[in-house]
Amino acid sequence: EFVLYHDQYVRKEDAAIDMEDRGYNFGDGIYEVVFVYSGKSFAMNEHFERFISSAAKLEMQLPFDAPRFVELTEGLIEKNSLRDGMVYVQMTRGASPRNHLYERDMKCLVTGFTREMKPPEQLHQDGIRVYLTDDIRWLRCDIKSLNLLGNTMAKRQAADHNCQEAILHRDGTCTEGSSSNLYIVKDSVLQTHPANNLILNGITRQAILKIAHEKGIEVKEEPFTVKDLAAADEVFISSTTMEVTPVIQAAGQLDAEYQIGSITRSLQNGLKKKIYGSEFI
Ligand code: PLP
């Protein structure tokens, strides 16, 4: 098994990280996760456009341009003969004597690995339970940064309550999931939080909104409340791994049950069509 280390493919056991890498000490870095279906990556360019935008927001120096990042990542998929699974690429600000203050001209370190996995088709079909809790994260959730404690703590809480995902609210306004975007449908209108500093603008989210427009589904990119969530006709989440996954029950700060609706199914099928091409039935 090979990993990406800067622009080289090395054996996993031969790759070493400096004890004072800022990613290790401060979580000073960014990442992307891209899914691979039958050896073909989905939305790779879009993922690296976002990666480059995250880097710019953190004043990180890019060692490669977007096409080179894509090339290196595709190369890793090929090197590991990955058929179905995910590829993870991250970039930290690199190593220097530990100091909160970062220099703008640091040599960033790019690393990546692949993992074999199948999309969770059963969950796509049957839906999941979600756990509603407070969004305790920082105010730059638009950056896909390595700092994920607010997300991981919420996910643990959800799992402890037999839920597959945590969904988050800030003072009663629903933002997103711990590793997904969140949507409601009310009276045939699809609603999701606007892409601002409070959420990550998912690549899957962007694809879903496009599909909704193509299908003539009315879309509101406006914040909605926990009350709106409680009264929704349909609820679903989206992410690279979860695609469109229906929500059938909410626990935690909300106790609700939902039917899997026609708009959720229609968007789910629309996304699968984009992923699998004309082969999808
Ligand atoms: N929101 C958060 C906090 C995430 O971590 C993720 C992905 O992991 C998403 C949304 C969905 O983003 P994408 O569709 O690009 O995977």
Q: What is the DSSP code string of 154-205?
A: HHHHHHHTT-SEEEEEETTEEEEESSSEEEEEETTEEEE--SSTTS---HHH
DSSP string of 53-106, one letter each residue: HHHHHTTPPPSS-HHHHHHHHHHHHHHTT-SSEEEEEEEE--B-SS-SSPPTT-
Q: How far is the CA of 188 from the centre of ligand 1 (A)?
A: 24
Query: Which two structure tokens, joined as six digits, stand for 185?
Result: 């449908």
Would you tell me how many other CB atoms lie within 10 Å of the CB of residue 255? Answer: 10
Per-residue pLDDT 10s for the chain (281 aa) are 999 999 999 999 999 999 999 999 999 999 999 999 999 999 999 999 999 999 999 999 999 999 999 999 999 999 999 999 999 999 999 999 999 999 999 999 999 999 999 999 999 999 999 999 999 999 999 999 999 999 999 999 999 999 999 999 999 999 999 999 999 999 999 999 999 999 999 999 999 999 999 999 999 999 999 999 999 999 999 999 999 999 999 999 999 999 999 999 999 999 999 999 855 54
CB distance 99 to 134 below 8 Å: no
Residue where the block lists tokens 């590829």: 87
For residue 119, report the distance from its CA to the centre of ligand 1, in Å: 15
**Which of 40, 79, 144, 186 is the catalytic position?**
144
Return the domain boundaries, the chain: 2-117, 122-279
What is the pLDDT, as a whole number, of residue 110? 98
How many Å apart are CA 128 and CA 110, to the nearest integer?
Answer: 34
CATH superfamily label, 122-279 = D-amino Acid Aminotransferase, subunit A, domain 2 (3.20.10.10)
Give the pLDDT confidence score for residue 281 in this predicted structure: 42
- CATH architecture of structural domain 2-117: 2-Layer Sandwich (3.30)
Residues 117 and 86 sit within 8 Å (Cβ to Cβ): yes
Q: Is residue 145 within 6 Å of ligand 1 at its C-beta?
A: no
Question: Among this protein's residues, is 186 annotated catalytic?
Answer: no
Residue given tokens 């939902």 in the structure block: 258
Index of the ligand 1 atom closest to the CA of residue 205: 14
Atom of ligand 1 nearest to the CA of 240: 16
What pLDDT is stored for residue 278 in this prediction?
58
Cα(146)–Cα(103) distance, integer angstroms: 18
Pull the structure tokens for residue 229.
């969530």
Q: How many helices (H) and strands (E) does the chain have?
A: 8, 16
pLDDT of residue 276: 93
Stated as kind and residue range, the H or E segment containing 224 is: strand 224-225
